[in-house]
Amino acid sequence: MNTVVIKVTPSVMKKMKETYNGNLVNKKVPYSEFTAKKSGTAITAYTSGKVMFQGDNAQREAALWGAELPKKKKHTGSSDSSAKSAKLPANFSQLSVVGSDEVGNGSYFGPVTVCAAYADKEHLSALKALGVKDSKALTDKQIRQLAEKIKELIPFQLLVVNPEKYNQIQPTYNAVRMKVALHNQAIGLLLDKLAPVTPEAILIDQFTPEGNYNKYVSLEKTKVNQKIYFTTKGEQYHLAVAAASIISRASFLDELDAASVELGLTVPSGAGHKSDEVAAKVLRKGGIELLGKYAKLHFANTEKAKKLVK
């Protein structure tokens, strides 16, 4: 069994927890942030920032978060299907690119928002001047202000799946398949808007191995598969992903605010104990039917909230 250990920053740890939300296991490990199991690989994230991957696919899973894959021996006639995700074209940050990112998948309350944004060469300097960068390095106020300016500057396509719709399709679409479908749809709709202009590349902020993405996208009626690249921390490689992330985040925050007004409660992001407490209040107010309009019911928070009500 392969074992790989990496060290990550708090922001990456947060994104990892969101990414593996659908794979979390109820296993108490001392000093751990979370434990998960995906495709036979056990993932244990510790409060120290270290993350351990164990299993046959440990190296490949760890590579999604910055670990280096062992170099393969070259042999004639081989074709590396992951080449595009392993290495971006030279001067990629200066190309005209469609970037896409999502927000809300790891939050119990609120929607899943996915945005695809097109940043062409002519607008890169303007986006940089606005202060567009990794949304995790921005305050909520800055994100909201930037989102409005970005939407006036470049073409984008935003999709919002509210919790009620999410709960309807979740039994058929697991968390990863749902994100694949949404990214594919957002990119496709944006490409339709841009036609006849075509981007030089498409960059998706990677949330699953490329092979897994291709497996799920093949199930969609209409699929975009040309010039697509995948990489984690995509916002560091092109401003299009950073812009998409900011628009997605702003929309997610707006939806949480709207839910707070409707419920008369402060609706939190994330999936911590605060979410359990608010969910319990919503259950007392209107039962599971009301909760299902604002929260993703398959999360463990639902059962925790029910226990608080009892």
Whole domain around residue 28: which residue ranges? 3-63
State the pLDDT at residue 162. Answer: 96
Answer yes or no: are the C-beta atoms of 203 and 231 closer than 8 Å.
yes
Examine the domain organization and report whether 131 and 248 are in the same domain.
Answer: yes
Domain assignment present for 275: no
Examine the domain organization and report whether 208 and 253 are in the same domain.
Answer: yes
User: Closest Cα to residue 184, out of 166, 160, 204?
Assistant: 204
State the pLDDT at residue 77. Answer: 37
Domain assignment present for 105: yes
Domain assignment present for 291: no
Domain assignment present for 273: no
State the pLDDT at residue 69. Answer: 54
User: Closest Cα to residue 213, out of 168, 241, 189, 183?
Assistant: 183
Examine the domain organization and report whether 162 and 29 are in the same domain.
Answer: no
Q: What is the DSSP string of 28-43?
A: --TTEEEEEEETTEEE
Domain assignment present for 97: yes
Q: What is the pLDDT along the chain (310 residues), one digit of tens a residue?
A: 678 888 888 878 888 888 888 788 887 788 888 898 888 888 999 888 888 888 888 888 888 887 655 544 443 333 333 334 447 888 999 999 999 999 998 899 999 999 999 999 999 999 999 989 877 778 899 999 999 999 999 999 999 999 999 999 988 888 899 999 999 999 999 999 999 999 999 999 998 888 899 999 999 999 998 889 999 889 999 999 999 999 999 999 999 999 999 999 999 999 889 999 999 999 999 999 999 999 999 999 999 999 999 8
State the pLDDT at residue 70. Answer: 54
Examine the domain organization and report whether 15 and 107 are in the same domain.
Answer: no
Examine the domain organization and report whether 239 and 109 are in the same domain.
Answer: yes
User: Residue 17 maps to which CATH number?
Assistant: 3.30.310.10
Total domains present in the chain: 2
Examine the domain organization and report whether 57 and 131 are in the same domain.
Answer: no
In the sheet that holds 201-205, the strands lie side by side as 156-161, 112-119, 97-103, 201-205, 228-231
- DSSP β-bridge partners for residue 99: 117, 203
DSSP-based three-state secondary structure for 110: coil
State the pLDDT at residue 1. Answer: 61
Answer yes or no: are the C-beta atoms of 97 and 238 closer than 8 Å.
yes
Domain assignment present for 133: yes
Domain assignment present for 110: yes
Rg (CA), the chain: 20
User: Residue 126 maps to which CATH number?
Assistant: 3.30.420.10
Examine the domain organization and report whether 9 and 124 are in the same domain.
Answer: no
Examine the domain organization and report whether 99 and 247 are in the same domain.
Answer: yes
Domain assignment present for 85: no
